[in-house]
Amino acid sequence: MAADLSPAIPGTAGNAAPIAAPILVADIGGTNARFGLIDGRIVRDTRVLRCADYASIEDAATAYLAAVGLAAVGTPGRPRRGAFAVAGPVTGDHIAMTNLVWQFSVNRVRDALGLDGLVVINDFTAVALSVPRLADEDRRQIGEGAPQAGAVVGVLGPGSGLGVSGLVPGANNRWTALSGEGGHVTMAPISDRESAVLGQLRKSFEHVSAERVLSGPGLVNLYSALTILDGREPAALTPAQVADNALAGSEPHCVEAVEMFCAMLGTVAGNLALTLGARGGVYIAGGIVPKLGTLFTHSRFRKRFMEKGRMRDFLAPIPTYVITHDLPAFLGLAEAAGAE
């Protein structure tokens, strides 16, 4: 078992004095497991562990608790409850993660960690549940509009895939996060150039979903299709290289790919707002958009969000935001676990 844990994640509280019974939270992706402790809105003692260094989720969680001085059951300030977000479907006690060998029983992990309760939810559900807990500095508004209080919220996030969710308000300030598969809706074009790109992608994919263009691999798909349409051979670029070339303005097809990515994200975000009636706003999560910086702010995203013919007046008042919080899933886990 690896003993070497990374330092605290920037932007979260450091080793603050423990407060009685915080909630143990974990965001477990295909590569990294991020752990932390939550007291209300405060996220503290965050660490990133490499999943591959641990045989099981209990081992990783135990190593984290040891690293923050809370290994022994009964230690003051040791968590009594846990809430974990996992990249994969959550349909019962047995959890099998999509891109990781870890499989576990929620009840057994709860008992092994000496917790009274453990909630496990899908990672994008956790991101969606974070929205009511975001402070103004945790989000950046793109364009005009203002949220209607108590109204439905839309959330979508391009990352390794495209997560899509909605938040429906309920009694006592509680929210229900929708668990759909909205990243797999069919991508629709709005120009001849976009039609040509989607036509090119149809040669490789039986169904060109939104995720085929609005994700890390999707950014590469856009770059490759645009390059081929112009009679050139695409280079073998990673999503980060496509974005970096676009930010540097050094490769025209990378620039066009990122511009098309932002515009198509506007179309899909507008579709989500129409479908849900998301007058509470539409939030963009995921690791990619924050890395695009001002390219995204100045892109056609907002114009395309509103560009729905007769529905323009319905969409124009709806605000759109980029989530800038480093660990929104942790805030959502606090919501799921019922933290104040």
Ligand X SMILES: Nc1ncnc2c1ncn2[C@@H]1O[C@H](COP(=O)(O)OP(=O)(O)OP(=O)(O)O)[C@@H](O)[C@H]1O
Residues forming contacts to ligand X in the complex (CB under 6 A) are 29-31, 87, 159-160, 216-217, 238-240, 243, 286-288, 291
Q: Known binder of ligand: residue 31? A: yes
CB under 8 Å to 85, separation ≥6 — which residues?
Answer: 25, 26, 27, 28, 120, 121, 122, 123, 125, 126, 127, 329, 332, 333
Measured from the CB of residue 243, what is the shortest distance to ligand X in angstroms?
Answer: 3
Q: Known binder of ligand: residue 116? A: no
Q: Known binder of ligand: residue 30? A: yes
Residue 140 or 308 having the CB closest to ligand X: 140
Q: Known binder of ligand: residue 111? A: no
Residue 126 or 152 having the CB closest to ligand X: 126
Determine the residue with CB nearest ligand X: 216
Residue 24 or 87 having the CB closest to ligand X: 87
How many of the other CB atoms lie within 10 Å of CB of 80?
A: 14
What's the rounded Cα separation, in Å, for the pair 334 and 340?
8
Task: Give the three-class secondary structure for 277.
Answer: coil
What's the rounded Cα separation, in Å, for the pair 65 and 2?
13
Strands 282-284 and 320-323: parallel
Measured from the CB of residue 277, what is the shortest distance to ligand X in angstroms?
Answer: 27
Q: Known binder of ligand: residue 29? A: yes
Measured from the CB of residue 2, what is the shortest distance to ligand X in angstroms?
Answer: 19
Measured from the CB of residue 13, what is the shortest distance to ligand X in angstroms?
Answer: 22
Residue 78 or 261 having the CB closest to ligand X: 261
Measured from the CB of residue 46, what is the shortest distance to ligand X in angstroms?
Answer: 15
DSSP string computed for 97-147: -TTSS-EEEHHHHHHHTT-SEEEEEEHHHHHHHHGGG--GGGEEEESS--P
* Nearest in space to 283 (alpha carbons), one of 137, 141, 149, 177: 141
Residue 216 or 332 having the CB closest to ligand X: 216
Residues forming the annotated binding site for ATP? 26-31
Residues forming the annotated binding site? 26-31
